[in-house]
Chains A and B, each alone.
Chain A
């Protein structure tokens, strides 16, 4: 059974801090790892990672994948209150026809205090 584990489950920091969110996985037939941000509505896409060691970056957010150790991290620098959200990690690991859905972790609930 495919498994995705995120840590920590919740995190409270002050504005301006840097945070690192963790995601480890155990799946067969790994294809990609995705990060989403969810703010009381639908998840919105952040990054998709398929290759080890290549950092994806978007503004203050960055992410990297380690396929040998089976984990990914999401970094957010100079946090702002608008970064408060649940961050979801998901893995795509199709078993047959290639259309299987994503396996999600339970998410990290990040709260940025002013």
Chain B
């Protein structure tokens, strides 16, 4: 357990509304990641961060933005949610050395 929490754990929202998901870690890990998991697609990288204020796009970044103002927090924002963004979102972290990523408990987001 790498001390990763995600909030909220479940959310239902309407199309067109903004949504922010939060990932908080207590391990002082440098690298943080947002993935989404969908049936038939597996886990796909949305955005990642390699330090405070340093972020980059992943495979499926369209419609998402991120921010990292502190080492421990990585926010994922859907500016205008769409039904295609209904998914389970996982945050992950990794320390400075190459190695395994640790995953948070996930957020189940439903866009109606």
Contact A106 B45 (CB under 8 A): no
Contact partner of B42 (CB less than 8 A), chosen from A99, A100, A106, is: A106
Contact B98 A101 (CB under 8 A): no
Contacting residues, chain A, for B74 (C-beta < 8 A): none
In the complex, how many residue pairs between chain A and chain B have their CB atoms under 8 Å apart? 63
Contact B104 A42 (CB under 8 A): yes
Separation of A71 and B82 alpha carbons in the complex (Å):
37
Separation of A98 and B45 alpha carbons in the complex (Å):
15
Separation of A92 and B97 alpha carbons in the complex (Å):
13
- Residue interface bits B68-106, CB-to-A below 8 A is 1, else 0: 000000000000000000000010101000111111111
Separation of A90 and B41 alpha carbons in the complex (Å):
13
Separation of A90 and B43 alpha carbons in the complex (Å):
9
- Residue interface bits B27-41, CB-to-A below 8 A is 1, else 0: 000110101000011
Contact B90 A42 (CB under 8 A): yes
Interface residues on A, range: 20 to 34
29 chain-A/chain-B pairs, Cβ below 8 angstroms: A32-B99, A42-B105, A42-B106, A43-B90, A44-B103, A45-B100, A45-B101, A45-B102, A48-B100, A88-B43, A97-B50, A98-B50, A99-B48, A100-B45, A100-B56, A100-B58, A101-B33, A101-B48, A101-B92, A101-B101, A102-B43, A102-B101, A103-B45, A103-B59, A104-B42, A104-B43, A106-B40, A106-B41, A107-B42
